[in-house]
Structure formats: C-alpha cells, structure tokens
Amino acid sequence: MDSEQNNTDFETDFVLHRGNRANVREKKRTGWKIFIVIVIGLCMLAAGALFVILIGTIAMFTSVPRDSFTEEVIRSGTRRNKIVLIDVQGIINQQQAQDFYQQLKRAQEDDYVKGLIIRVNSPGGTVSGSDQIYNEILKYREDANKPVVAFMQGVAASGGYYVSVGCDKIIAEPTTITGSVGVIMGYLVLEQLLEEKLGIQPVISKSGMKKDWPSSFRIPTDEEKQYVQDKLIKPAYERFVGIVAKGRESLSLEEARVLSDGSVYGAKEAVDEKLIDGIGYLDEAIEEVMALAEIKNAHVIEYERPFSFLSFLRSQGGNILQFDRETLYELSTPELLYLWSLY
C-alpha cells in the first residue's frame, strides 16, 4: 500500500511539476510578446517622429522667402557703417535683374547701410536686363541718397559697362576689359537646313509684309536688314550712347559717340578716355565709398541666399536637355543684346 501511495504521490508531483513548467513557459512567451509589441510600438513612434521632422525640414528649406538673405562679412568694421557688395556676374538676364533688385531692396531697408559697391564681371547681356539694373541703381542713389561705386573685375563690357555708368564712380582692376559700347543682334537662318536637308517647307501667314521681319526661315533682304537697323539697333544704340554721356559727366555726347563704336578698352586706356575714374582693387573701391559716405572703418558685407531644397531641385532639373515649343521659339527669335560679341 505504501508503495502504491508513493507511486501515486510521485505521479501527482510529476504532473504538477510539468504543469508549472508549462505555466512558466507560457508566462515567458507572454512576456516576449509584450516586449516585442512595445519595441514595435516604439519603432513606429520613432518612424513617425522622423517622418514629421523630415517633412518639417523639407518645408523649412522649400519655404525660404525669395527676398531672404544672410550677411557674409567681407571686412569687419563698425556695424553701424555698413557697405554692401552686390555682384553682377556672367550674362545679364531677367533673373539676374530680379535678384539684383531684391538685394538692393534689402540694403535700402537697412538704416546701417551707408553705401554700395556693385562688383561687375560681365560681358553684358539682354538690353532689358541691363537697363533694369541700371535704373535700379539710379533709383537707389536718388531715394536713399547714398553713394554707389562700380568695381570692375575681369570683363565689364557692353551691358556690364551700361550697368556701371549708373554709379557715382567706377574703379577697375588693372587687367579689366571694358567698353564695347554698342548693340548686337544675331539669329540663325534655317532655310537650307529645313528645306534641303530635312525636306520641311515653312508656311507663314501674316497680317502685314513686315510682321515676320526678320525671319529665321529665309535669308534677309537688304530692306529687311535696314528695317532691323532702323527699328531695333539704332534706338538701342542711341540710348546706350546717351546713358554713357549722362553717367560720365566729363564726356560730351559727341565724345561718347566716338568711343561707342564697339571697341574694348583696357583699364589704363579706359581711364585716359574718361570711361572710368580709377584703377585699383576692392580695397580702393571700399575707400572710395567711405570717402563719398564720409565714414570710417566700414563693415563690408555681401548677401547670401539660405540653402533652399526647392531651388536645388529646380537647378538640377534645369540640367535636363529639353526641346519644346518655347525652346524652339527662343532659338529662332532674334534678341537684341548689349553684349561683347566675343561671348
């Protein structure tokens, strides 16, 4: 009996022990499940937070106002005596004129700005873009009553010179090429390419004989060439000569016209011909502005745009070769330019 009782007790203990182990395993499984759920939940929260941060960052970089600038110090000085350096670089076009206007507006809103340096390194560009920048300089000088000095580097020709004569003084580096006062217009004649090579015959319907003068679809006649000269080249040229005579008070209109045959001039020759006021570097331009503004120890800055993710994407997208109706129009339409023809 004792033996049977012992067996029964052993079996009972075994069953209870196995049940306890099963309960322990079940509890462990439950614990791991809870832990995994917590980890997954935390990961999801972290991913959500990162997504929100990413969206916020993109929004911050893409929503930078077009007129937002930071100040880059060129030469440290008294912060109440600022001189702002604004660049006119490369081919002058509508976009550069707009950017120039925004920087000029920022400078005009800052009471600590005592004068401007317009740093020009450009062979010129469109008639409209050059004239807009010139006009903004004149308005700033009149409205703000503060000096503006042009500082020429490298090439400051044609539209680059047009912009410069809007300033109070012009300083050029010794190696600067300037001048090239004049107008140029060029376009492609596609007649032989279209008709003889590609077998394409353009069909033009117009309301008047001169509506499509000049045309890329035929070689211009002498009458068409004279028409372009009288209607486009001459008025733009006369305006340029007048601008030079107005901006360079030491030159008469006739003297300006003699110099406005498209010739380029080195810095020394430009001084001799009274096209510029002096030869020097940025330090000399700064000294000139300080003298005109009657200040000392100027704090010289230039404006920089904050990084914009949207602008970056646009600049990258602009590298993709596209050929559409607008591109065809731009290629086939003559454009009047204040541009040194070497470029």
**So which residues are the catalytic ones?**
158, 211
Please give the Cα distance from 258 to 263 (Å, whole number).
10
- Phi-psi category of residue 218: left, alpha or beta, with phi > 0 → left and psi -120 to 50 → alpha: beta
Longest alpha-carbon distance in the chain: 142
Reduced to 3 states, what is the DSSP secondary structure of residue 153? strand
The distance in angstroms from the start CA to the end CA of the chain is 119
Which among 172, 115, 159 has a CA at the least distance from the CA of 140? 115
Q: Assess contact for 129 and 100: CB atoms under 8 A.
A: no
> Strands, E, within 147-276: which ranges?
148-157, 169-172, 177-179, 184-186, 264-266
Which among 103, 96, 159 has a CA at the least distance from the CA of 131? 159
Backbone angles phi, psi at 338, to 5 degrees: -95, 85
Q: Assess contact for 122 and 156: CB atoms under 8 A.
A: yes
Helices (H) and strands (E) in the chain, counts: 12, 12
Using DSSP bridges, classify how beta strands 78-89 and 298-304 pair: parallel, antiparallel or unpaired. parallel
Please give the Cα distance from 159 to 106 (Å, whole number).
24
Please give the Cα distance from 110 to 67 (Å, whole number).
14
Give the angle subtended at the CA of 242 by the CAs of 277 and 139, to the nearest 5°.
75
